[in-house]
């Protein structure tokens, strides 16, 4: 058995388990329930506040065969393929190492083909502020006329570096730093599930040190 980092093991796979971002989660669930999903989302906020986690849950929920109140079922073939990273419908790109215009042109070409399974192709572009000017311009062309089956989720810790032309095409969500109390509650819950005995004082100390980041905690 390989070692799984704790933040991966405990990464929420439903919106209900995402703590401290209630308004964002509720808005997204409403959109899924009403089948009014946007084509471009911008998730902003400091590290460890749930941007990538929420992006992955959203990617599953829009493709899920049997969504439950806006949540992915995590049981159907589509959910399982996405969770395993083997789905062709969910593409994660790290803009820090793929920041050139050619990288984005490649994506643009791909988006001309509709998904072979499921409803949506979801592109999650992490650290999107790292894209070059040329890459942003190429991305803008796609955001201006997105195919109906494409969803972009752009994530960034530095929203002020995103060109206004891109911002104006996205639904923006600002992820808050997570409160000490919320982090402590989640840690307590997880330790109970793991049957680990831990002093309340220790939980509070870690929650405080995490400085708003659930992942760090
Ligand atoms: Zn499912």
- 100-122 pLDDT, tens per residue? 999 999 999 999 999 987 899 99
Give the strands of the sheet with 121-126, arranged side by side.
90-94, 121-126, 150-156, 40-44, 171-174
What's the rounded Cα separation, in Å, for the pair 100 and 85?
24
117-150 pLDDT, tens digit each:
789 999 999 999 999 999 999 999 999 999 999 9
Partner residues linked to 68 by β-bridges:
71
What's the rounded Cα separation, in Å, for the pair 71 and 60?
8
Q: How far is the CA of 165 from the centre of ligand 1 (A)?
A: 34
- Please give the residue that has the higher pLDDT: either 6 or 63: 63
- pLDDT for residue 154: 98
Q: How far is the CA of 39 from the centre of ligand 1 (A)?
A: 21
Share of the chain above pLDDT 70, in %: 99
Q: How far is the CA of 101 from the centre of ligand 1 (A)?
A: 34
Q: How far is the CA of 180 from the centre of ligand 1 (A)?
A: 32
The secondary structure of 50-119 as a DSSP string is SHHHHHHHHHHHHH-SS-BTTB--S-SHHHHHHHTT--TTEEEEETTT--SHHHHHHHHHHTTSPPSSSS
pTM of the model: 0.91
- pLDDT for residue 3: 72
Tokens 């494409």 correspond to what residue? 150
Average pLDDT on 164-179 reads 96
Res. 1: pLDDT tops 60: no
């Amino acid at each position: 058995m390989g070692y799984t980092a704790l933040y991966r093991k405990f990464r929420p796979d439903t919106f209900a388990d995402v703590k401290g971002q209630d308004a964002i989660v509720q808005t997204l669930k409403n959109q899924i329930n009403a089948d009014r999903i946007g084509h471009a989302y911008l998730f902003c906020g400091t590290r460890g506040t749930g941007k990538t986690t929420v992006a992955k849950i959203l990617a599953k929920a829009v493709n899920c065969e049997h969504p439950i109140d806006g949540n992915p079922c995590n049981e159907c073939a589509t959910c399982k393929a996405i969770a395993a990273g083997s789905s062709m419908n969910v593409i994660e790109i790290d803009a820090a190492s793929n920041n050139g215009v050619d990288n984005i042109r490649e994506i643009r070409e791909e988006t001309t083909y509709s998904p072979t399974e499921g409803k949506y192709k979801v592109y999650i572009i992490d650290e999107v502020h790292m894209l070059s000017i040329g890459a942003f311009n190429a991305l803008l062309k796609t955001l201006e006329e997105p195919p109906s089956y494409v969803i972009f989720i752009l994530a960034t810790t530095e929203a002020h570096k995103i060109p206004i032309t891109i911002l104006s095409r996205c639904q923006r969500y600002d992820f808050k730093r997570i409160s000490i109390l919320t982090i402590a509650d989640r840690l307590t819950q997880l330790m109970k599930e793991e049957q680990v005995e831990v002093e309340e004082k220790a939980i509070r100390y870690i929650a405080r040190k995490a400085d708003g980041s659930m992942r760090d905690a």
